Amino acid sequence: MSDTMITQQVHKFEEPLKIDLEELLGRFQRMDSVRYEDFSSVWRELNFDEIFFGIKTMAEQNEFSRMALNISTAYFLPPYSFQIRVGGLYMLYALYHTQRSYPTQRIRLALKDWGDVQVFTQDALSSQHYDVLYILHQLLSAKAFLFTAMPIPLTYSRDQKVVNTNTEVPTEQSARPQELVTTEMCEEISNIHQHYKQLKTFVLAKHPDADLNLVPNLVPKLLNAVEDFSTWQNDQRAAAAGDEQSDSCKDEPSTSSTINQQMESSKRADLLASIKARSYGQVAEVSKARRHRQGELCTDTRAGEYEDQGPQRDRTHVNFLRRKRRQLNSLKSRTLRRLQHTGGVPGDSLSTTKLWKLSQSEQEAAAPPRNARRFRY
């Protein structure tokens, strides 16, 4: 259940609760006393703490407690008599300590009313009504008062906008000026203006120098203003209809626009074909580092073959580079071989010395080196 529904349901008991509280105060007033002992006897006689029984949910209990405290606060403030205000204070004390709300609801007291409470305290002190001072001190020490700007929570109710789900039926525009400026109202304003002119004539007869041409005739001005508003409203409606028509024309493309799009697509295709032909007819200039690989003119047919081969051609090229890399000797072997040719290094320096084999037979030394073939996967 929402908070609004709970508030509406609980506030149905506001009038009966007021009747019960006034009955309690009436009995206390007939006792002609301001002692808390007499008030407590009336409270127990009426079993007044049972007003909090029978409420099922805690949300309703909290709302009912707030309502009871707000109603009782009104009897604690002016313009009631001193005895009624004392009874209102005792009633606040009793309701605050017997409520079953969680958290405990506090007594709202506006800051503008605190001055009246202080005057009430001074009156009770000067009359030596110490019961009143004690109860008020107990409420203040228990922090029962909630000092606020307003006695009750202030909210602003706003009208909810009704959304028109039926988009086919257009909503009517506002016609409040036309409804307001009626014929009867214009006649009434005209009569008032005539009376105003008579009064001016009477004043000018006594005071010829006075300037009383302050208010012109309002009826023609009102009618002109309403007519201008109606004309502006019709112009706005016509402009909105024109915008809708233009939007509908944009949503439905014409045949001529379709033909233009096709022509633009064909022009773009021809341009791409010419660029491709020019690129195949030229040979790219080779850099100095790759002079051993001369450029080669590639036709569109061969380009299509290479494009069709795709990944297979790439793998073949990679394998060729790997084999060529394996055939190249290291920098050390090429340097030793060059020095051997020039005579700077003896020929046996190219043979590998096997440190683990200190001696070898003449047959092994005379045997030609065996070409070790690497296993290929």
pLDDT per residue as tens digits for the range 176-208: 666 777 777 777 778 887 887 787 777 777 777
Q: Which residues of 292-315 are buried (b: 16+ CB within 10 A; e: fewer)?
A: eeeeeebeeeeeeeeeeeeeeeee
> Average pLDDT of 19-44?
93
pTM given for the model: 0.43
**According to the model, what pLDDT value does residue 308 have?**
47
Q: How far is CA 276 from the centre of its chain?
A: 54
pLDDT per residue as tens digits for the range 270-327: 877 777 776 656 655 656 666 656 555 555 455 454 444 445 555 666 676 666 666 6
Confidence of residue 124 (pLDDT cuts 50, 70, 90): very high
Q: Which of 108-117, 273-282, 303-312, 343-352 has the highest mean pLDDT?
A: 108-117
Residues 17 and 71 sit within 8 Å (Cβ to Cβ): yes
Confidence of residue 168 (pLDDT cuts 50, 70, 90): very low
Lowest mean pLDDT among 154-163, 203-212, 223-232: 154-163
> Average pLDDT of 230-254?
72
Q: Which helix (H) or strand (E) element contains residue 247? A: helix 218-251
